[in-house]
Structure 1
Amino acid sequence: MRQVDANTEELRDAHDKLAEFYAERLAGVLESMPIERAVLDLFCELTLAAELGRDVADVGCGTGRLLPYLAGRGVTPRGVDLAPGMVEVARRDNPGFPYEVGDLRALPFADASLAGVVCWYSLIFLPPESRDAAFAELARVVKPGGHLACAFKDGDGEKRRGGRSVGVEFDAYWLSTGEMLERLGAAGFDLVFQAGRPPEGEELVPQGYLVVRRRRPR
């Protein structure tokens, strides 16, 4: 089992405490977000068209809110999250899917075992020293020709302390689209789709969306 460092422990414990808050606040939110639905739809269509199977993972699945939507578009999703509390809530609120506790830097999947992966705001917690391992893990588990979709806060990459407004604290890093593309490219992914939107409501930065394809060996 991977040894948990202090920052990871803090992130995990904070999200254990946030599980019920997220369950209440995010329930049904996807229905009012056409851009996010469109990106997820594209990911599912590309995954099915690649004919590499239907098995996909939501890495950093939180409360599991995306899994019913993904399943409704024809793929077979499973969830993994760092926080046991999130996994517990996911099993309760969005049952019928496999969930497990796991670390993005050491995913519980075999090499090239997934047709695709979704990382929906789960890459914003990676400190600089963890990024190479995390992006390499994503490439390891996705079949060549398979797809990865991610949503993220398009920022400057500087460390921020998150969660204080709701009584917890953890580190967050809002990587720019440029850095996201650079790291995904270095890990073995090619860009398929790129989009963004201006900040809305309480958001402080634009939101970014990418769909990339795992490069096939030459």
Structure 2
Amino acid sequence: MSDPDFLQATRSSYDTIAPAYSAEHPDGLGEGPVEGALLAAFAELVRTAPGEASVADVGSGPGYVTARLNTLGLQAYGIDISPHMVALAREAHPGLRFEVGSMTSLDVADGTLGGIIALYSTIHVPDAHLPGVFTEFHRVLRAGGYVLLAFQASEGEQIHMAERYGQEISLDYYFRTPAKVCEVLAGTGFSLYAQARVEAQGERKWGRAFVLAQKVQKVG
């Protein structure tokens, strides 16, 4: 079965802009102190919980989040839909593991991960597919495992980008409120642990939201 159109478009677009994107964002956490603090909190929760401390960075891009998670004591590896982006991440972070894959169908056994992190990657998933993505996250997490999400916070805004870095692409962005994301998480077997929001500042048009949730139940 072929991938849905949005996955094919996302893969093709990031393959096209991978070099320019990676050059602009060698370590995007350097400009986000809130992201850094939440990443550290996530790492401590996963590291000190019973069971494996393995974590999948879903939508790992240039790989800087995967690298930071490893410095925080986790066994983290990256998954990205773009083969070109994965190749650049491997080059930038030799010795770390990066795989080509889709968050809609993770090549991970049931209940084996201590955590999943998805920073600004679920924004390319249409609303109709978001419950399926969170259900997949739920499947691969062990009981009590954590998921940390970051996304642009806006009331149901959708943007189509046809050009970036001077390259022709076809990339859709779906911005949501934290309440909407928490609602979908709750419907797929997660309990909210914490959330935060950074309002739009400077050149940032949209605020950024962060949701930390825990797998606490089976989906009926």
TM-score tier by shorter-chain length is: over 0.9
Deviation per CA, 1:186-205: give whole Å up to 9, x if none. 11111111101111233221
Give the corresponding residue for 2:16: 17
Give matches, 1:45-64, under 5 Å: 45-64=44-63
Give matches, 1:56-135, under 5 Å: 56-135=55-134
Distance 1:116 1:208 in 2: 19
Distance 2:127 2:32 in 1: 30
TM-score (norm 2): 0.93
Give matches, 1:35-50, under 5 Å: 35-50=34-49
Q: Structure 1 stretches (4+) deviating beyond 3 angstroms?
A: none
Higher strand share: 2
Give the corresponding residue for 2:182: 181
Distance 2:6 2:46 in 1: 34
Contact 1:23 1:89 in 2 (8 A): yes
Give the corresponding residue for 2:208: 207
Distance 2:110 2:198 in 1: 34
Contact 1:15 1:86 in 2 (8 A): yes
TM-score (norm 1): 0.94
Give the corresponding residue for 1:142: 141
Instruction: Give 1:109 shift.
Output: 0.5
Contact 2:154 2:175 in 1 (8 A): yes
Instruction: Give 1:33 shift.
Output: 1.8
AA at the equivalent of 1:207: R
Report the RMSD for the aligned CA atoms in angstroms: 1.6
Instruction: Give 1:162 shift.
Output: 2.7
Give matches, 1:182-197, under 5 Å: 182-197=183-198
* Count of paired positions: 217
Contact 2:80 2:102 in 1 (8 A): yes
Contact 1:112 1:144 in 2 (8 A): yes
Instruction: Give 1:117 shift.
Output: 0.4
Instruction: Give 1:216 shift.
Output: 4.2
Deviation per CA, 1:4-37: give whole Å up to 9, x if none. 2333211111001121112111113322321110
Deviation per CA, 1:61-80: give whole Å up to 9, x if none. 01111111101111010111
